[in-house]
Amino acid sequence: MTLRWGTIGITMIGVLIAFAMMQGALAQDAMPDLPGVSDLMPEDGEGGEGRLSARVVQLFLLVTVLSLAPGLAMMITCLPFMVIVFSFLRQALGLQAAPPNMMIMALAMFLTFFVMEPTFRQAWDTGLEPYMNGDMEEQRAIENTLDPFRTFMQTRVDPETISRIAGALPDRQFDNLEEPPMSLLVTSFMLSEIKHAFQIGFVIFLPFLIIDLIVASILMAMGMMMVPPAIVSLPFKLAFFVMADGWVKITEALLRGYMG
């Protein structure tokens, strides 16, 4: 069940990425018409074969981006960080299925879209839109599209992680670790995001662990050793979390970590 909802969620974040690109295009009336069958047919005379090749390449790139969007969302956005933190929060509360996996994934997706919207828009404006308008070559468009994501990852990645991952492959010489290649940067970024998520998860666990210890000590002092402490402490943890407005405060802290 968890794997199924996770797959659905990752697919939806891919749709959000495509929606962000379409939103940027529609805002400037720059969305080109998709080629029809007649457009793909070679024209008579000179230039027909070239037009056919260009259209085929554009369609191939479009399908490739849409198919890779769920994987890219897990690699170069803050989606894994959000999902891990909210999963830790649910475990700290002692709840098994509330909120359900679908709701956690949906919340993480829309927070990811909220955080990454400027990056999506910049990638569209500097790379995808000029290419689809025919004003830029493929190689340059790819570089301009990836540059905003590179900047986002470099602001979040741990420099020590980059150096250690690079040192794990002594046969490969990386000339400049301040501008690492995309393969090294993405790997280091994912590991850094997982590390940061576990650090925040540890901090989230502490107050709930204290409540569990207090309840367990009281039950032991009263001689009620057969009563599971987790059941007794659950209402107190929920009351503490609701009174502190925990969902809003944790979400605000996560957003400030990216916006700051």
pLDDT digits (tens, 9 = 90+) for 120-147: 888 878 877 777 777 777 778 777 878 8
**What's the pLDDT score for residue 7?**
47
| CA-closest candidate to residue 73, choices 105, 29, 41, 46 | 105
Residue 78 lies in a domain: yes
**What's the pLDDT score for residue 35?**
44
Instruction: Report the distance separating Cα 245 and Cα 36, nearest Å.
Output: 53
Neighbouring residues of 56: CB distance < 8 A, sequence distance ≥ 6: 40
Total domain count for the chain?
1
In terms of residue numbers, what domain contains 212?
2-36+47-259
Residue 60 lies in a domain: yes
**What's the pLDDT score for residue 23?**
46
Residue 77 lies in a domain: yes
**What's the pLDDT score for residue 21?**
46
**What's the pLDDT score for residue 13?**
46
Mark the ranges of the chain whose per-residue pLDDT is less than 50.
Answer: 1-13, 15-48
Distance separating the N- and C-terminal Cα atoms of the chain: 36
Cis amide leading into 99 (omega within 30): yes
Residue 41 lies in a domain: no
**What's the pLDDT score for residue 69?**
64
Residue 171 lies in a domain: yes
* Helix (H/G/I), strand (E/B), else coil: 182: helix
Instruction: Report the distance separating Cα 242 and Cα 237, nearest Å.
Output: 9
Residue 74 lies in a domain: yes
Residue 42 lies in a domain: no
Instruction: Report the distance separating Cα 38 and Cα 43, nearest Å.
Output: 9
CA diameter of the chain: 95
**What's the pLDDT score for residue 198?**
92
Q: Is 161:187 a contact under the CB 8 Å cutoff?
A: no
pTM: 0.69
